Structures are given as C-alpha cells and as structure tokens.
Amino acid sequence: MQWDVIVVGAGHNGLAAAVHLSAKGWKVLVLEQAAVAGGAVKTAEVTLPGFRHDLCAMNLSMFAGSPFHAAYKARLEAAGLALLPVTHSFSSVLEDGGWLGVDTDLESTAARIAARSTADAQTWKRMAGEFGADAPHLFGLLGTPVPSWAMARVLWKAWRAKGLPWCMETVRLLQSSPRNWLGARFEDDGVRALMAAWGMHLDFGPDVAGGALFPYLESMANQCFGMALGRGGADTIVRAMVRCIEQAGGEVRTGSPVARVRTDAGRAQGVTLADGTQIDARRAVIANVHPRLLYGRLLGQAEPLPAPARLRPGPGTMMIHLALDALPAWRAGAELQRFAYVHVAPSLDQMARTYREAMAGLLPAEPVLVVGQPTVVDPSRAPEGRHVLWVQVRVLPAEVKGDAAGQLVAGSWDALKEAYADRALALLERHAPGLGARILGRHVVSPLDLERDNPNLIGGDSLSGSHHPDQFFLFRPAFGHSRWKTTIAGLYMVGASTWPGAGTGAGSGFMLAKELAGG
C-alpha cells in the first residue's frame, strides 16, 4: 500500500495526528518500536494478576478537555473510550499534620480553607468564580499554534474582553515563581503548599520563575471541572485511537523500530526500519519522538546538532506501583481516601529543598510524592476489595552524584532504585501508618528504567524536556520550530518536546494534523 503519511512513534500525540489525518482521507501508517502503543500512556499488570497500573500518566483531564476530544468524542466512544469523572481531585498532607483537599463542591473546599484562613477562603472563592470567564482565554493561549494569526486573535479577544489590567496580570502570572505569586494572594502556608505541589508535576520548584501558571490552572480547573480518569486504565485513550485509525483504513504497527528517516534533496521520502525494510510516504513523515533522537538517531546528523535537539531535559522521575489489600490509612484524616491524588509535599520550603538537592545531582533526603488512588474512582483496576497505588517520586537526578541524606553511595540507578524506593515508602508510611503491611506487590521504575522503556524520556524526564520559560511558547523546542517544522521539508515533530508541551491534551498532534489537512 502507498502511504500518504508515516507517523514514527505511537504516543498519544502521534495517534491523535493519525486519527485526524485518516478521518480526512489520508492513508496513515503508525510505526512504534515498543510492543504496545501509547508511549507514556500505558496500563499493565506489573505487580500481580488483576491489578492494572498506569505506568506513567494517570490523569486524563487534559485529554477530556481538549479540542481533539471535543472533535472526535463520538467516534472515540464508539471505539471504546471510557472516561470517569472525578469530583475529589487532589489533596495535600501539610507540615502541621493537617490536610487540605479540592473537590468540585466549592463550599466544601472553601470550608476546609476557612478553617485555616477566612481571608484565603474568600480569595479562593473569588478566584474560582472568575475562572469560568478567564479559562477560555488561557486555554486558548495554550491550545493555539505559536506564532500564528490564530494566536494573535486569541490575544486580541482577551484584551477586548478582559481589558489591559487583566492582560498585564496574566503576563505577571506567566513570569512569576509559585512562591511569589501564591504569597501575594494567600496568607496560609498550607494553601500555598496545596497549590504549589502542581508545579512539582512539571519541573518548577517553588522559586523557579515561570512556574506559577500550572499551580493556578490545575487548582482552578480541578475546582471548577473536576478530574478525569480512564475506566480500566489510562490506556483507554490509546486503544480507542488505534481502533479509530484502523477503522479509517490506517494501520498501527508495534514492534517496528525505525532506524532512519530517508531524505532526498532536502525532503523526507519515508523511513527505513531496523530490519532494512523501506517504506515510502507520499506527503509527510511525522516524528513523535524527542528532537535529540530525531536529529541524532533517525537523521544521523553529526554534532553539533541543530537547536531543537539541544532541548534541555527536566529532572528525573521514579514510579512505584503497589498492589494493596486496603487503601492507605492517612494519619491526617480518613477523608483523604476519597481523593484521586494525595500530594506528600507538606510545605514550600520542603519542595524547594527537594528541588535544589535533585538539581545538584543528589538523591533528595525527602522527595515529593504524588500518590494516586485510582481504585477509589475505578474499582475495576483491582480484584474486589483490593487497590492499586500509583506513587510518583519527584524530583530526582538523572545521574546520581550523592545522597543529601548521607545514607546511600553514588552509583547507577540500577543499584540504587530499590533502596531509594524504600526511602520513599518509609516517608509515605509516616503519613499513612501501616502501609507496608498492606502491600501485596511492588514494582519500582527508576529514571533510567523510564528512558529504557521510552527513549523520549531522556534521563527519566517524564515531561520530555524542561518547561522553563526559555524552552516554552516560541522556544519549544527551539525558536523557529514551534510550529512543528524541522530542518527537512515534509518532516514534522510532535509530542511533549514540542509546543504546547507535556500532558495528555494531544495538542501538538491535533494542531499539526489540522494544518497539514487544511482544517
């Protein structure tokens, strides 16, 4: 068969591009080196039979709220997509032994905050009340090609609707660190920690400029709209997209590593597989891979590589997957068992210390833990009465130079991962006594393991590139390449390394596909 487009990499952005192009009548082939599609969105039984664990991404809110989902909702659902709404989205255990949590009942959230600060509760309610009018402009900014006339229209509409003062406050938000922005609005350290924990999901310690946006957006979006998880696992979006592609006459081939992107006279012609098979692409090749891999491995270019390939990785991540016979018994309060996420990030100072240690190449003495409790919402992921726990350990060095606690000797992650997982779980046990006795199975994935499974996650960076301001907006992955073009005609990049960055929103894949297909 003659293919119009070849997509290299079956991550969700590559699949979204393939869904749209195949729906527009293009003949699409997706090639994936791994045994299953999905990239960083995979679900598997890695502890015990019957316990389904999201191996990396768990939260599907960005997918559920994306323009791609809005456009293909009916087709995806017919192909098996099943999303579950979450009312009790996230929470944090705090330094003073208490906790705060956000659920879609505004009065309930505000009451928790009011018990700590009446003024902060009023600020929270005002902020949430304004978010409905602000969100279209903010998400429009993050969901539009940059630079583009469409982006200019988004900015013009925001200025006309909200006025110059709001626009200037948004510029301040985009430039601020979490500590500075939150400190100017909230007086309680616990409220600040509750929101700032979202910065650690990316690579924004509390004092990193440009890090205030994500804590604000996630906090308000979860307050106003809740969260979304996938029934049976996050891979529901992958399985549905693959089915849509196949129903439209396309093909997704797993276990098919691409060795080279073939070019002639400065234009992409197709690919060569690792086994030597050559496949032609009549219109385009789309690489859903990190630009360092694209230019260095698939194009075989010599050092120094072009600017997109020099995208700086963020810090590493460890995943700990647990099969449990009961939910954690949270010391701070039993109501924490209702939340999809519990952040063990008790204060801004603790988060800042963890970030500094990791960036210095040290194993943090006290890492930040993002504890996912998906079986609270979706019991189908485990046998009856049992649970899975999704523990993301943030942030970590890719190469370990030492240990901030002075207990572990610098070395490879293969040698250190189980001992460091013990430290993370001991920290978790302090907040959830008796957890160790409830563990039926355990599976630890180090930063090195993450990169082995998915080469796009360089150094175990689950975000496929730092999101600091010098690598965002016009500079993702490099100036002049934010519209997904490469130095080769007919060859394009999508994925978390490109605008609009990480997350499950399928933004780069969908926007590029619309551009190629003319809408």
pLDDT for position 470: 96
For the chain, give the percent of residues with pLDDT over 90: 99
Q: Mind listing the pLDDT tens digit for each residue in 394-452?
A: 999 999 999 999 999 999 999 999 999 999 999 999 999 999 999 999 999 999 999 99
- For 78-115, write each residue's pLDDT tens digit: 999 999 999 999 999 999 999 999 999 999 999 999 99
Query: Would you tell me how many other CB atoms lie within 10 Å of the CB of residue 115?
Result: 13
Question: What is the DSSP code (8-state) at residue 201?
Answer: G
pLDDT band at 336 (very low <50, low <70, confident <90, very high): very high
Q: Which token pair is 174?
A: 């985009």
Note the pLDDT of residue 503.
96
306 secondary structure, DSSP code? P
Mean pLDDT of 298-314: 94
Report which residue type is found at 378. D
Rounded to whole angstroms, the Cα distance separating 396 from 161 reads 42
Concatenate the DSSP letters of all residues of 2-36 into one string: -EEEEEE--BHHHHHHHHHHHHTT--EEEE-SSSS
The CATH H-level superfamily of 3-43+56-84+233-310+467-517 is FAD/NAD(P)-binding domain (3.50.50.60)
Is 90 exceeded by the pLDDT of residue 216?
yes
Secondary structure letter of residue 394 according to DSSP: E
pLDDT confidence tier of residue 303, bands split at 50, 70 and 90: confident
For residues 185-195, average pLDDT: 98
Q: What is the pLDDT of residues 17-58, one digit of tens each?
A: 999 999 999 999 999 999 999 999 999 999 999 999 999 999
pLDDT of residue 485: 96
Own/partner long-range contacts of 162-169 (Cβ < 8 Å, ≥24 apart): 162/133, 162/134, 162/137, 166/134
Residue type, 163: G
Q: Alpha-carbon distance 15 to 79, whole Å?
A: 14
Are 179 and 206 within 8 A, CB to CB?
yes
Which residues lie across from 64 on neighbouring strands? none
Burial (CB < 10 A; 0-12, 13-18, 19+), residue 87, is: middle
Question: What residue type is 205 in one-letter code?
Answer: G
CA distance 435 to 114: 31
What is the average pLDDT across 327-348? 98
Residues sharing a CB contact under 8 Å with residue 354, sequence separation 6 or more, in sequence order: 200, 205, 364, 366, 367, 368, 394, 395
**Residue of 338, 297, 286, 329 whose CA lies nearest to 87:** 338
Which tens digit of pLDDT belongs to each residue from 466-475? 999 999 999 9
Tokens 């197709």 identify what position? 270
Q: What is the mean pLDDT of the chain?
A: 97
> Angle at CA 272, nearest 5°, toward 19 and 242?
20
pLDDT at position 1:
78
**CA separation (Å) from 456 to 64, 203, 437, 444?**
24, 16, 36, 19
Better-scored residue on pLDDT, 519 or 7: 7
pLDDT at 302 over 90: no
Looking at the chain, the whole-number percentage of residues with pLDDT higher than 70 is: 100
Q: H/E element holding 400?
A: none
Q: Is the pLDDT of residue 276 over 90?
A: yes
CA distance 245 to 286: 15
